[in-house]
Copies of this chain bind each other. A is one copy, B any other.
Amino acid sequence: MRLNELSSPVPVVDYDIASRNIRRLQQYCDTHQFRLRPHIKTHKLPFFAHEQCKAGAIGITVQKIGEAEVMAQTGLADILITYNIVGREKAERLANLTNFARLSVAIDNERALESLGWAAHRASTPIGVLVEFESGGNRQGVQTPEQAVALARAILGHSGLEFKGLMTYPTTTKTAEFLRESLPQFRKSRIEVSVVSGGGTPGAYQTHELAPVTELRVGTYIYNDRMMMAAQAANLEDCALAVLATVVSRPTIDRAIIDAGSKTLSSDLLAPGQEAGYGLLPDYPDAIIARLNEEHGIVDLERCVRKPEVGERVRIIPNHVCVVTNLHDQIYLHRNGDVLAQLPVYLRGKTN
């Protein structure tokens, strides 16, 4: 089957590009002796998680227990959950999961620790715990080395929990700063920090210059997207996923309507000051996907000399590929336009 026989809109993945992206980052990690623990948020597929592990990754990263459950059920044995597990219901699922996979969890507060402690009492195997610290992302994580040491000490007080080390997102120069201040305090407290886990695709290949982490968590590198291109972390030929859409209307000379709207591409935009629009049309680089309704993409053709006709298929490199795979029940894997497989996106929608 050829790609153009698929009903549009549909996300398709070039298998050779994805495989090359997997190999390239693994090589970088091997060269610099980083352990690679890919984040599955981008592909959401057991298939590619296994391919990443076969290439040399030590395990995978997920954010939600529902994601860990699917991955454990499909043979992934080493899973890091970089998310505060809070509450009894999730703690129980975590405890159950220890029957099927080696688990670790990154937390930043006592309430999450309480839940982990409760889970540890019911777990089949010890649960590893990392302390998340903030590296300037203004998201979450403890704010000071003192808080990190205090939380690590509290973790050590729980039988069934194993303190593993530190985790942050993204890896920045602030990561190095935090480590420079905190690692001596851990040594003084005789607390071993065996893992320092950093993350983020844009700076992945600069990690060795950024901070002394031991482990890389990266997701987007496998597919790449327009955001990675804007961050100069990828070129068009590194983008493995495209959405195929069809022009369904040409109401005016300068406007095309495609059958891919926000339910297909998401509403994620690039950062202010970067390229406009809701995706890149590589075959019509001067076209701008100016607006999205749920099922309509409104494409401004004003700057295009050649303009697509009704019925024509167009390729779209999405702005943010991770949210696109979350919108679709399946993706199609291809090589040179030949469909190799239809892959259900098993982890789609696993938000809890």
Contacts and interface: CB of A to CB of B under 8 A. Distances in A.
A217 to B, nearest CB: 14
Given A310-B112, A311-B87, A351-B328, A251 B296 contact: no
Interface string A111-149: 110000000000000000000001000111111000000
A251 B141 contact: yes
B86 A263 contact: no
B294 A323 contact: yes
Contacts of A52: none
A333 to B, nearest CB: 18
B89 A5 contact: yes
Q: Is the interface of A mostly helix, strand, loop or mixed?
A: loop
A349 B322 contact: no
A298 B138 contact: yes
B248 A86 contact: yes
Q: How many copies does the complex hold?
A: 2
A281 interface: no
Name the residue among A87, A248, A252, A323 with the largest chain B CB count within 10 angstroms. Answer: A248
Interface in A101-119: 108-109, 111-112
Given A108-B251, A248-B112, A329-B349, A140 B296 contact: yes
Contacts of A138: 255, 291, 298
Contacts of A8: 87, 352
A7 to B, nearest CB: 4
A249 interface: yes
A266 B320 CA distance: 13
Report the 9 A-B pairs with minimum CB-CB distance, sorted nearest first.
A84-B248, A140-B249, A111-B310, A267-B267, A7-B352, A63-B295, A140-B257, A140-B251, A267-B268
Given A140-B251, A260-B351, A328-B349, 20 more contacts: A7-B89, A8-B87, A41-B295, A63-B294, A83-B295, A86-B248, A86-B259, A111-B310, A134-B251, A139-B293, A140-B296, A141-B251, A143-B251, A259-B351, A263-B349, A266-B267, A267-B268, A294-B326, A327-B327, A328-B351
